Structure 1
């Protein structure tokens, strides 16, 4: 009977040791979740930096558009001068054709710049999506840690139940 009680106490000690290990594992999982959340914060900070760079690029783009407006105004003036020159002869018409070709090239440059801006905004959206995914992973890790802690609590409860049964057996032995 005493050997059985010793075995039960040893089993209870093993269960408590296992519960402690489960709690330690849960703490480690929570620490890992905190690390993942920190990485997510870092990714979001990087996304904010990318957005700031995008704002800077947009501001530069506004400056470029302002310069283009100035260039277009100058172009209008040039075209007015071209009209006056057209009155002078066919040679001036040929020069006017060259000016129009130059304007077509400039408009193509503006279209390319707008395409670049769209690509940059898509890149920012992708970075923010990755940040959201990392935060979701961190939440999942924390949930897993909570589940591990609940498992540890269950093991400790089983250990308490085993100790109670051992006390009952000892009481029964005393009664005998």
Structure 2
């Protein structure tokens, strides 16, 4: 069975709004490795539109971008499929994107049964719904040593039936002071 991995950057105060801060080189490398171990992305419309066409465009025109951004963009572009859960998105960018309007749980359970690499998700809305359904196997949260005081918050609006018990299995401290935390669902 394939794993669903939730990976996200956050500040000390829980802000995960990528417009408010930008990850450093080590963080980009960390996410590049996670991306290389995946062949499917699960996104909501907002996260999808944040990632596409931005990263595919970096691959097409890498001038002026940092080395780690180009490497991440190449890893992102190599992923086989992107599943976008959206009621409002009319058409996908490219031929590897599929829009799904209903059936989050059924779609993810089906994907988990297929052969392949990990399934990677990010953002807030879809991962919160996946957490509510107990469908996330690993949580990779990179905490940055800054306080923003505004913006989208990690697990904003989550509605759990019972506490979500996680086990810390790995932590990595970067030179910047950011900490990558890897949790498994218990």
**TM, length-normalised to structure 2:** 0.19
Higher percent of residues as helix: 1
Higher percent of residues as strand: 2
Higher relative contact order (CA 8 A, sep 6+): 1
Higher Rg of the two aligned structures? 1
**TM, length-normalised to structure 1:** 0.20
